[in-house]
Amino acid sequence: MESNSNKAKNTTTRVGGSRRAILRGLGIVLPPLLTIVVLIWAWNTIENYVLRPIESGVQHAIVWSIPDKTFSDLPEGAIANSTGKSDGFLYQGTEYVLGPTGRRYLPDYVKKLVDDKSDYSPPPTSAKAYWDRYVQLKYMPRWQVVPVFICVFTIVLYFLGRLFTLGMGRWFVKGFDHAILSIPVVNKVYGSVKQVTDFAFSEREIEFNRVVAIQYPREGIWSLGFVTGDSMREIAEATGEQMLSVLMPTSPMPMTGFTVTVKKSEAIDLNLTVDEAIQFVVSCGVVVPGQQRVDTLTPNAASTIEAPAAILPPSISSDTSVPTSQAKP
């Protein structure tokens, strides 16, 4: 029986070790993988809604500017091939051949280039499609278009950012926002998206003044928070006390927390840096800074810890030491 029990324990240990190893592997792989997924999504969005429309417009402009066109019949002065009209003709020194639909003629050099480069893609189904594909291969190869687009797009974003931070540009942006926000239904979507983009791309950073401990979500439970400001004037006037805005981080993602407003007298300033507090939250309390570890207290230190004046019972003076059992941690 003891042997079977040991075997079961060993099996459980191996399974637990394998599970922990898999979770550690996920922790290593997921951050870069999700980053790549987000970047790919952002690029696909820009490509589909910005690059491709511009690329298509430029292609049509180049096709329109090329003198060699397509013909539905022999133009005046054209010389038919000796084998007959259906095989093509020679016009102004350019040889024309019948397109894939059998209804229009296009230059032979266009058809040859496209056919030679269409090893991994289906051939165009019309003379116009041949022309578009020819312009893309001849004048707008992908390896040239993408770097040029990125450079131009970055420059445009730079000048737009510079322009719209000035007086006239800022006025235009405010007018545009006001016009969009006055449209029913659209204003809900646009307003939400604008809030997200303003938060994500704004140069203003949330500054944490200090780290505090407050009793939240109920008395007796202490939570770490980051002081972000002095909250709102009307709240302070209503309570008759100075207030604090505190960001309450959640484990293990501290930036997914929420904001609360508390009385300044009910917050305990902690001897912690913001980085140390974030490590404490991310590790779910496992990583405790050296100066805050309980095992560093001397045997008599607990009896000298005083509770904050704001949370002492009315019958106890603020300058009176309280037993460990009554002191708030």
Q: Are 41 and 65 contained in the same domain?
A: yes
Q: Are 93 and 172 contained in the same domain?
A: no
Mean pLDDT, to the nearest integer, of 199-205? 62
- Does the pLDDT at position 49 exceed 90? yes
Q: Are 195 and 256 contained in the same domain?
A: no
Give the model's pLDDT for residue 318: 40
Mean pLDDT, to the nearest integer, of 97-122? 85
Residue 81's closest CA among 72, 71, 91? Answer: 91
Asked whether residue 311 is domain-assigned, the answer is no
* CA gap 212, 264 in Å, rounded: 10
Residue whose entry in the numeric block shows the structure tokens 């870069």: 32
Q: Are 125 and 76 contained in the same domain?
A: yes
Residue 40, Cβ density class (10 Å: 0-12 exposed, 13-18 middle, ≥19 buried) = exposed
Asked whether residue 25 is domain-assigned, the answer is yes
Residue whose entry in the numeric block shows the structure tokens 């510079």: 162
- Lowest average pLDDT, out of 172-186, 205-219, 286-300, goes to 286-300
End-to-end CA distance of the chain: 47
Q: Are 182 and 113 contained in the same domain?
A: no
Model-level pTM?
Answer: 0.54
Give the model's pLDDT for residue 86: 63
Q: Are 214 and 200 contained in the same domain?
A: no
Q: What is the pLDDT of residues 108-117, one digit of tens each?
A: 899 889 888 8
- Lowest average pLDDT, out of 131-135, 228-232, 239-243, 250-254, goes to 250-254
Share of the chain above pLDDT 70, in %: 79
- Does the pLDDT at position 32 exceed 80? yes
Give the model's pLDDT for residue 234: 92
Q: Are 193 and 221 contained in the same domain?
A: no
Q: Are 122 and 29 contained in the same domain?
A: yes
Give bridge partners of residue 212 from the DSSP assignment.
225, 269
Give the model's pLDDT for residue 314: 45
- Does the pLDDT at position 294 exceed 60? yes
* Angle at 83 (CA atoms; ends 82, 86), nearest 5 degrees: 115
- Does the pLDDT at position 154 exceed 90? yes
Average pLDDT, whole number, for the chain?
Answer: 80
- Lowest average pLDDT, out of 18-22, 35-39, 152-156, goes to 18-22
- Does the pLDDT at position 106 exceed 70? yes
- Does the pLDDT at position 323 exceed 70? no
Asked whether residue 153 is domain-assigned, the answer is no
DSSP string of 188-243, one letter each residue: HHHHHHHHHHHHHH-S--PPP-EEEEEE-SSTT-EEEEEEEE---HHHHHHHTS-E
Number of structural domains (the chain) is 3
Tell me which of 11 and 36 has the higher pLDDT.
36
204, 234, 254 - which closes a domain = 204
Q: Are 186 and 218 contained in the same domain?
A: no
Question: Token pair for residue 225?
Answer: 């928070």
Which CA distances in Å does 206 have to 93, 196, 226, 261, 302? 70, 15, 10, 16, 36
Q: Are 176 and 263 contained in the same domain?
A: no
Give the model's pLDDT for residue 150: 93
Asked whether residue 145 is domain-assigned, the answer is no
**pLDDT category of residue 301 using cuts at 50, 70 and 90:** low
**pLDDT category of residue 207 using cuts at 50, 70 and 90:** low
Give the model's pLDDT for residue 213: 93
Q: Are 200 and 218 contained in the same domain?
A: no
218 in helix, strand or coil? coil
* CA gap 249, 13 in Å, rounded: 34
Tell me which of 160 and 212 has the higher pLDDT.
212
Give the model's pLDDT for residue 203: 59
281 in helix, strand or coil? helix
Domain residue limits at 200: 164-204
Question: Token pair for residue 17?
Answer: 């070790």
Asked whether residue 83 is domain-assigned, the answer is yes
- Lowest average pLDDT, out of 28-42, 204-218, 227-241, 281-295, goes to 204-218
- Burial annotation 112-133 (CB, 10 A radius, 16+ → b, else e): ebbeeeeeeeeebeebbebbbb
- Lowest average pLDDT, out of 12-16, 119-123, 221-225, goes to 12-16
Share of the chain above pLDDT 90, in %: 20
Give the model's pLDDT for residue 322: 38
Asked whether residue 198 is domain-assigned, the answer is yes
Q: Are 195 and 290 contained in the same domain?
A: no
Asked whether residue 314 is domain-assigned, the answer is no
Give the model's pLDDT for residue 191: 82
Mean pLDDT, to the nearest integer, of 189-205? 72
Tell me which of 320 and 99 has the higher pLDDT.
99
Mean pLDDT, to the nearest integer, of 16-41? 86
Give the model's pLDDT for residue 325: 38
Asked whether residue 309 is domain-assigned, the answer is no
Backbone angle region of 90, left / alpha / beta, with phi > 0 → left and psi within -120 to 50 → alpha: beta
